[in-house]
Amino acid sequence: MAAELKPNVVLVLVDSLRYDFVGAYSSKDNLTPAIDSLGEKGVVFETAIAQAPSSKMSVASVFTGNNPAKNNMFRRKDKLSDSALTMAKILKDSGYATIALTGNALTRADLGFAQGFDLFVYEKFGFLKRYLLKACRRLAFGKLKEDIRMKLYSPADSITLSKKALGIAGKQKQPFFLFVHYLDPHWPFGVPNYELAQKLDSTEKVREVYKDRVKRCDTAIDILACGIRKLSENTIFIVSADHGEMFDEHAKMAFEGKRWLQRPGKLFEERIRVPLVFNFPGLSGRRVKGVVRLIDVLPTVLELIGEKRQEKFDGASLVPAIRGEELGELHAFTDGDVGEDGLFGGAALRTNKWKIIKAPSTGKLMVFDLETDPMEKNDLSGKNMGGIAELERTLEEYLGNRINGPEAEMSEAEKDREITEQLRELGYVK
C-alpha cells in the first residue's frame, strides 16, 4: 500500500492586516468573508502576536520559528543568515516543492528570504521604469481607473499574485509549500504619498482606503483558496499578517510636505496583534483563547505534516490546542528596530493579562493590564503590582540575548532605483 501523501502547505501573509478588521475577530464591516469562512471551518487563534512591528523581522521569525533576538535582522540592511534553518529548507528536505511570491521589497531574495525555495518570485515595483513612473502618476493618476492606477503605481496587487501563484502551483507535483505575501493594505495602499497628503486629509478617509485594500486581499485569498482546493483538498491553509497598522489610537497621523511621517507606538496592540487562522480537512471550527505567537507557526506545521526535528525553536507547536486541548500560557516577545529611542525601538512582552514595553536606550517602562484596559490607555508603570517585576526581568533577559552583529553592506538589489523608490513610498527610506 502506498504511503499517504503529505498535505500541501499554503501560508498567506497579508502585510499590515489588523486583526480587528477581520470578521472572524471583531469587524462588522464584512471585509473578509473568505478569511471568515476559513475560520468557521478551521481554527481561529484569538490573540496572535507578531514578533516585530515591521515586515523583515516579522517574516524572518515566521520562517525560522525564532524570536528576532536570534535572527539579528534589526536594521534595514541586515540579512537572514545563510545558516538559518527556515520553513522552506525543512519542507524541501522533506520532499516538498517550495514556492514563494511576494510583493514586499523587504522580503526579497537578496535579504535571505529565498533560502530553501525552488522558485522565489519577487514582483518588483510596477511595470514602468522609475524615470517614467513619477511623470505618469502625476499626469494621469486622477483620470485612470482604480485597477489601472494600482498597476501603474503598486507592486503586484494581491489578485495578480494569487493568479500567478495558482498557475505555478498547478504545475507542481504534490506535495508543495506555497508562501504568498500580499502588500495591498500596507501604507500608502497603492496611492502615492503626495496624493494621500493632498486628498486624504483625515484619518477616517485613510481608514476607508485601508478597508478597500483589505477587501481586495480577501478576494485574492478566496481566489487562491478555491484554486488550491481544486488542485487538492489535502492542504493546510494558513492566513495571518506580518503586523498590523495604526490609526491615531496612540499617535496622530502626520504628514510633512508630501510624505507621511512614521509614528511612535509600534508596540501597541493595533500594530502587533494579528489574525491567525488554520484550515485543513477534518476540522469543524474552533476558537482558541490565549496568547500565541507567529513563531509558533513553523513548529505547528511540522507536527501537522509529521516532520520530527532535533532542532529547538523559540516557538511551540499549537497542535494540542488545535485538537481541543487547553492552551498553556505563552509569553510573546515583540522587538523593535535597533537604534531608535522610545516605543519605536523598544521591546514588548505580552502575556494573557499583561503587556510591558521597555525602551532599552532610556529604560522607560510602560505597563498595561489588557484584561481591564484592552486599548492600552492607562499606563500602570510605577505602581506596585504583583508579578510585574518578574516579567520585567524576563524582558531584560530577552534583551540581553540580542545578537549585535555587524551591519550588512547594502546589496546591489537594494541600490536599484526602483526598489529604493518603493521603500521610500512605503515609509522605510527618507
Q: Using one digit for the tens of pLDDT, what is the confidence trace for 228-265? A: 999 999 999 999 999 999 888 887 776 665 566 656 66
Q: Using one digit for the tens of pLDDT, what is the confidence trace for 336-366? A: 865 443 334 689 999 999 999 987 667 789 9
Q: Using one digit for the tens of pLDDT, what is the confidence trace for 173-188? A: 889 999 999 999 988 7
For residue 145, tell me if it sits in a domain.
yes
pLDDT of residue 251: 76
Statement to judge: residues 356 and 288 lie in one domain? no
For residue 189, tell me if it sits in a domain.
yes
- Going by their DSSP bridges, the two strands 332-335 and 119-122 should be labelled as unpaired
Looking at per-residue pLDDT, the higher value among 419 and 316 belongs to 316
- With vertex at residue 221, the alpha carbon angle to CA 144 and CA 320, rounded to the nearest 5 degrees, is 155
Statement to judge: residues 317 and 358 lie in one domain? no
CB atoms within 10 A of CB 93: 13
Residues linked to residue 259 through DSSP beta bridges, in sequence order: 256
Are residues 6 and 232 in contact, defined by beta-carbon separation less than 8 angstroms? no
Distance between CA atoms of residues 96 and 178, nearest Å: 10
Task: Tell me the torsion sign for CA atoms 156, 161, 164, 168.
Answer: positive
Mean predicted lDDT score pLDDT of the chain: 85
Which has the minimum average pLDDT: 348-357, 369-378, 400-409? 400-409
Looking at per-residue pLDDT, the higher value among 140 and 82 belongs to 82
pLDDT higher than 90, residue 151:
no
pLDDT of residue 130: 47
Looking at per-residue pLDDT, the higher value among 33 and 422 belongs to 33
State the average pLDDT over residues 69-88. 89
For residue 376, tell me if it sits in a domain.
yes
pLDDT higher than 90, residue 73:
no
Does the pTM of the predicted model rise above 0.95? no
pLDDT of residue 343: 37
For residue 110, tell me if it sits in a domain.
yes
pLDDT higher than 60, residue 152:
no
pLDDT of residue 419: 65
Distance between CA atoms of residues 77 and 250, nearest Å: 28
Statement to judge: residues 366 and 417 lie in one domain? no
Residue 237 CA, chain-centre distance (Å), reads 16
Provide the number of structural domains found in the chain.
Answer: 2
Residue 30 pLDDT class (50, 70, 90 cuts): very high
For residue 368, tell me if it sits in a domain.
yes
Statement to judge: residues 276 and 371 lie in one domain? no
17's grid cell: 492586516
Statement to judge: residues 307 and 283 lie in one domain? yes
For residue 223, tell me if it sits in a domain.
yes
For residue 2, tell me if it sits in a domain.
no
Report the CATH number that the domain containing residue 373 is assigned in CATH.
3.30.1120.10
Q: Determine whether 426 is exposed, middle or buried from the number of CB atoms within 10 Å of its CB (0-12, 13-18, 19+).
A: buried
pLDDT of residue 78: 84
Report the CATH number that the domain containing residue 114 is assigned in CATH.
3.40.720.10
Statement to judge: residues 142 and 259 lie in one domain? yes
Find the DSSP H helices in 49-188.
Answer: 55-64, 68-71, 87-93, 130-140, 146-153, 158-169
pLDDT of residue 2: 42
Statement to judge: residues 378 and 421 lie in one domain? no
Statement to judge: residues 308 and 362 lie in one domain? no
pLDDT of residue 401: 78
Are residues 185 and 245 in contact, defined by beta-carbon separation less than 8 angstroms? yes
Calculate what percentage of the chain has a pLDDT beyond 90.
Answer: 60
State the average pLDDT over residues 194-209. 77
pLDDT higher than 70, residue 140:
no
Q: Using one digit for the tens of pLDDT, what is the confidence trace for 38-55? A: 999 999 999 999 999 989
Could you give the count of Cα atoms lying within 13 Å of 358 in the half-sphere of its Cβ?
A: 19
Statement to judge: residues 280 and 384 lie in one domain? no
Residue 133 pLDDT class (50, 70, 90 cuts): low
Q: Give residue 344's domain range.
A: 339-401
Are residues 228 and 221 in contact, defined by beta-carbon separation less than 8 angstroms? no
Statement to judge: residues 199 and 294 lie in one domain? yes
pLDDT higher than 50, residue 127:
no
Are residues 123 and 101 in contact, defined by beta-carbon separation less than 8 angstroms? yes
Q: How far apart, in Å, do the first and last CA atoms of the chain sit?
A: 61
Q: Using one digit for the tens of pLDDT, what is the confidence trace for 289-312? A: 999 999 999 999 999 999 988 889
For residue 1, tell me if it sits in a domain.
no
pLDDT of residue 361: 67
Statement to judge: residues 229 and 159 lie in one domain? yes
Calculate what percentage of the chain has a pLDDT beyond 70.
Answer: 77
Statement to judge: residues 295 and 353 lie in one domain? no
Distance between CA atoms of residues 101 and 178, nearest Å: 8
Contacts 24+ apart (CB under 8 A), 128-136: 128/152, 129/418, 130/417, 130/418, 130/421, 133/421
